[in-house]
Amino acid sequence: MSDESKPAPALIPLPPLPYLTADLPGIGGHIKLRPQDFVVTEIPAYDPAGAGTHVYFLIEKTDIDTRTAVVRIAHALGRETRDFGYAGMKDRRAVARQMLSIEHVDPAVIEKLEVPGVRVLNVALHGNKLRLGHLAGNRFDIRIRGVTADQLADTRRILDVLSRRGLPNYFGPQRFGVRGTGHLLGLALLRGDDQEFLDLFLGRPDESIDYGAMLRARKLYTDGKFDDARHAWPGHHREERAALGALVHGRNARRARFAVDKHLRRLFLSALQSFLFNEVVAARLPTIDKVLLGDLAFIHGRGAVFAALDPAVEQPRADSLEISPSGPLYGFKMTWPTGEAEKIERDVVTRNGVDVAWFGQGEHNIRGERRPLRIPLPKATCSSGVDDAGVYIEVSFALPSGAYATVALRELMKSEEGESEESPGASED
């Protein structure tokens, strides 16, 4: 791809997404005023077999993230963090129950672990390491504060709509990073625009988002002071420091871009896919529960996709939330729908300056896949109560792996706080 052949980037950082329940008032309020207000419990994809060399142990962690919990446990056992397995990442500001695994450790030692912020709830044996994605979903019990008990009726009305029509399967804002520019970094990578990638990754200071050493480092990069910028970045920002180190040693923008870990670069490309998927969901939101002629319908519970050749035949299955229309995680091998659904999906990439073929060029090998535009929200409940911190409304629901609790919260609260999380994919994966 030559620069002359590529249209100018047209993406903007995270435009507001429409609500499915826009005609119902939100309850406002606040979440995570204390960790106990946000309780997440993993729903495992399978139970430990009871035999094997791997110890599976369920932990309850409070006010620490998964990485910190693993670091503390590894230190207590004298092991490396890479020895541990887990199915997903969980937030710091929460009480989270999740499974970890470690091989060749006496289960009795695990049972007696004493680690700050972590309790071991049970221990079992299994034959393989726990891997990312070995997870059916998560159960959430969330207390919203700064509300009144009489808003419970509004909460119930919103949950009734979501239970009947499904929850929009938006990717949450944490997918795009603290600065909300992960998709823009992904677009720069996809286009092969190395200088734009570096400018976004290392510079473009914004005092409404950046602060402290990070703000100073971005300003130094913008001023061309690469070595000063490298030393200004906090030590744990290894990728920023690596890219700047390449520039300090006279490497060009392409070499500096390759100094950034390939897994992080892949996350940026995934953020671009997520942004474009959200745009498709937003475009189809008014009829998100309707099957269009030519749709590729997603079968919930099986993960299979099929062409909807007769919407009238398939609509009763959609009404019962057995199936849903699917949308694109764009890639060069992705299957396209036909008809109106295809037009919507092609319009999204066109107006955002993306050529789907780019996903298969250069170092990229992103085939693409389909994802349901909505997900069932069965057995969602709500109640009100009072404790030592005051009045709250508690909502409880389960989501499949890859879905975001923040999407349900933003429908309920109709506020930016309902969209906040602390780390990409936290609490949801």
Domains and CATH numbers, the chain: 46-132 (3.30.2350.20), 193-262 (1.10.1510), 289-372 (3.30.2340.10)
What is the SS3 assignment for the chain? CCHHHCCCCCCCCCCCCCCCCCCCCCCCCECCCCHHHEEEEEEECCCCCCCCCEEEEEEEEECCCHHHHHHHHHHHHCCCHHHCEECCCCCCCCEEEEEEEEECCCHHHHHCCCECCEEEEEEEEECCCCCCCCEEEEEEEEEEECCCHHHHHHHHHHHHHHHHHCEECCCCHHHHCCCCCHHHHHHHHHHCCHHHHHHHHHCCCCCCCCCHHHHHHHHHHHCCCHHHHHHHCCCCCHHHHHHHHHHHCCCCHHHHHHCCCHHHHHHHHHHHHHHHHHHHHHHHHHHCCCCCCCCEEEECCCCEEEECCCHHHHHHHHHCCCEEEEEEECCCCCCCCCHHHHHHHHHHHHHCCCCHHHHHCCCCCCCCEEEECEECCCCCEEEEEEECCEEEEEEEEEEECCCCHHHHHHHHHCCHHHHCCCCCCCCCC
pLDDT for 416 = 65
* pLDDT tens for each residue of 129-170: 999 989 999 999 999 999 999 999 999 999 999 999 999 999
Q: What residues are labeled active site?
A: 91
What per-residue confidence (pLDDT) applies to 427?
A: 39
Cβ–Cβ under 8 Å, residues 48 and 134 = no
pTM, two decimals, is 0.89
* Alpha carbon separation from 262 to 181, 239, 363, 364 (Å, rounded): 18, 10, 10, 11
Instruction: Specify the pLDDT at position 161.
Output: 98
Distance, CA of 93 to CA of 105 (rounded, Å): 29
Per residue in 57-89, pLDDT (tens digit) is 999 999 999 999 999 999 999 999 999 999 998
pLDDT-flagged residues of the chain (< 50):
1-11, 420-429
- Provide the pLDDT for residue 13: 65
Q: Rounded to whole angstroms, how far apart are CA atoms 41 and 19?
A: 26
**pLDDT value of position 174:** 85
The amino acid at 312: A
Q: What is the pLDDT of residue 12?
A: 56
